[in-house]
């Protein structure tokens, strides 16, 4: 857990703070020629190989370079090149995407949804951090066993979602669907359910070793929530209740059992700290799901999937995002004032506010642009990740540098 606290500094710096000077490039574009993209004031003053950038050129380049970073980063294409070359590459890529010519490698990367597996990492990490804060004990082996097992469960969620959305036609135009990419609905479905079985076995073995069967009751409730969300005959996501369902499943029903599974001699009490920490985790997770609907409204309407954004529209949806972020940080401050969370957790989590502002501004600016708003969910993934790591790191630091009394348990 100490490592998590140290790692937070790097993560928050990378995602939460706008750097003054950055270097970008795309593979194959003469990496020996490199320049720095500077802030507006510097761009007007500093020469690049004997020439000056005007403010207009800077604005165009910075916007396109930001898009290059966001999209090419997921494809492993960022090295170093000149701004002019990168601009040309991004313009070419944008035209290709608009024309439906996205590379298969890009589609496969999107299909695997690797950034989305933070929804497994954060509940495990936050639950473990609360347990460490209360007991001062941490098992590295148990932590990684829980993480690996829960990742298998989330893989089932992602794959089965592709299978059942394929059945209803919701993914008809979704090129990055696993079924559309590999062409075998049956094989993907079998793999999905095998992964679930392996994940449940792993979680059960840890629960038996910890002597905590109650934790498996919580996890069973979480997995049942995942099933209700997407699987027939329920498919509650088609009725617009996917967000509250996943809020409960990824929040309290996932974070609390991972806390309980770090019990050693006796079962840990379910404290107000772990409950409210799980609420924060649930809020950031459900925000990812909400923003993933912006670019799918037309396809959802066509198959009768009444997601919240189908009902609200993108303009009202952008306001929901804004007030959700305001509510998230307001709740964080309230938990600090009531001393439900240690000061270090509140402070470190509050430092992620620039990322929260970025989510709001990006969605408000691009909610009508189907191509651009696709990246909104990845901004939410970043917020979810750094906020969860900050929350966990604060708990670890609080335990390492101050003696905290065990929070009063409440009956559950």
Residues with Cβ < 8 Å from 23, sequence gap 6 or more?
34, 35, 36, 37, 80
Residue 183: pLDDT above 80?
no
pLDDT at 412: 53
Residue 89: pLDDT above 60?
no
Tell me whether residue 8 is in a domain: no
> Domain check: are 240 and 359 in the same one?
yes
> Domain check: are 68 and 153 in the same one?
no
Tell me whether residue 24 is in a domain: no
Q: Quick one: pLDDT band at residue 266, thresholds 50, 70, 90?
A: confident
Q: How far apart are CA 304 and CA 299, in angstroms?
A: 9
> Domain check: are 158 and 79 in the same one?
no
State how many domains the chain has: 2
Tell me whether residue 114 is in a domain: no
> Domain check: are 61 and 157 in the same one?
no
Phi-psi group of 241: left, alpha or beta (phi > 0 → left; psi -120 to 50 → alpha; rest → beta): alpha
pLDDT at 44: 39
pLDDT at 113: 67
| Lookup: tokens for 34 | 């490199």
Tell me whether residue 378 is in a domain: yes
> Domain check: are 208 and 249 in the same one?
yes
**Inter-residue contact 162 to 188 (CB < 8 Å):** yes
Average pLDDT score over the chain: 77
> Domain check: are 48 and 158 in the same one?
no
> Domain check: are 368 and 232 in the same one?
yes
- 169 vs 390 pLDDT, higher one: 390
pLDDT at 52: 42
> Domain check: are 296 and 339 in the same one?
yes
Tell me whether residue 56 is in a domain: yes
When pLDDT is averaged across residues 312-338 and rounded to a whole number, the result is 95
> Domain check: are 316 and 204 in the same one?
yes
Closest to 396 measured CA to CA, from 146, 207, 127: 127
CA dihedral in degrees (318, 18, 96, 171; nearest 10)?
-40
Tell me whether residue 50 is in a domain: yes
Most confident of the following: 1-5, 27-31, 264-268, 276-280: 276-280
When pLDDT is averaged across residues 31-41 and rounded to a whole number, the result is 39
The CATH number of the domain where 324 resides is what?
1.10.600
Which among 52, 67, 100 is the end of a domain?
Answer: 100
> Domain check: are 207 and 339 in the same one?
yes
Apex CA 150: angle with CA 145 and CA 151, to 5°?
A: 100
Tell me whether residue 155 is in a domain: yes
pLDDT at 16: 39
Closest to 391 measured CA to CA, from 225, 310, 309, 274: 274
- 98 vs 386 pLDDT, higher one: 386
Domain that holds residue 72: 29-100
Residues with Cβ < 8 Å from 143, sequence gap 6 or more?
124, 128, 262
Beta bridge partners of residue 37, listed in sequence order: 22
Which among 71, 100, 129 is the end of a domain?
Answer: 100
Residue 307: pLDDT above 50?
yes
Tell me whether residue 108 is in a domain: no
> Domain check: are 289 and 326 in the same one?
yes
As a whole-number percent, the residues of the chain with pLDDT over 70 amount to 67
> Domain check: are 79 and 211 in the same one?
no
């Amino acid at each position: 857990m100490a490592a998590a606290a140290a790692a937070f500094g790097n993560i928050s710096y990378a995602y939460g703070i706008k750097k003054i000077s950055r270097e970008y490039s795309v593979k194959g574009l003469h990496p020996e020629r490199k320049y720095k993209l500077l802030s507006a004031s510097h761009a007007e003053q500093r020469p690049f190989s004997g020439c000056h950038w005007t403010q207009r050129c800077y604005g165009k380049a910075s916007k396109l370079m930001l898009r290059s970073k966001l999209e090419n980063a997921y494809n492993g294409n960022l090295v170093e090149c000149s701004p002019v070359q990168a601009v040309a590459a991004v313009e070419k890529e944008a035209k290709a995407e608009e024309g439906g010519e996205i590379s298969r490698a890009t589609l496969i990367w999107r299909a695997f949804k690797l950034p989305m597996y933070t929804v497994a990492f954060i509940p495990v990490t936050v639950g473990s951090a609360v347990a460490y804060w209360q007991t001062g004990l941490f098992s590295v082996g148990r932590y990684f066993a829980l993480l690996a097992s829960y990742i298998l469960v989330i893989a089932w969620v992602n794959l089965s979602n592709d299978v059942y959305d394929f059945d209803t036609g919701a993914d008809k135009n979704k090129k990055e669907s696993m079924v559309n990419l590999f062409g075998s609905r049956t094989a993907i479905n079998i793999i999905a359910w095998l992964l679930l079985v392996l994940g449940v076995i792993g979680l059960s073995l840890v629960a038996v070793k910890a002597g905590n069967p109650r934790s498996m009751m919580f996890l069973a409730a979480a997995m049942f929530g995942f099933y209700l969300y997407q699987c027939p005959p329920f498919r509650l996501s088609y009725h617009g209740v996917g967000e509250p369902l996943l809020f409960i499943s990824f929040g309290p029903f996932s974070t609390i059992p991972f806390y309980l599974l770090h019990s050693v001699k006796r079962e840990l009490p379910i404290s107000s700290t772990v409950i409210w920490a799980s609420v924060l985790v649930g809020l950031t997770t459900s925000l990812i799901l909400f923003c993933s609907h912006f670019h799918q409204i037309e396809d959802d309407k066509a198959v009768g999937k009444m997601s919240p954004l189908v009902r609200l529209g993108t303009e009202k949806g952008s306001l929901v995002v804004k007030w959700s972020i305001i509510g998230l940080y307001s709740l964080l401050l309230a938990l600090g004032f009531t001393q439900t969370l240690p000061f270090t957790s509140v402070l470190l989590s509050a430092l992620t506010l620039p990322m929260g502002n970025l989510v709001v501004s990006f969605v408000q600016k691009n909610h009508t642009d189907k191509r651009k708003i696709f990246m909104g969910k990845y901004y939410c993934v970043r917020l979810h990740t750094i906020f969860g790591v900050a929350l966990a790191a604060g708990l670890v630091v609080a335990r390492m540098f101050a003696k905290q009394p065990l929070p009063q348990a409440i009956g559950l």
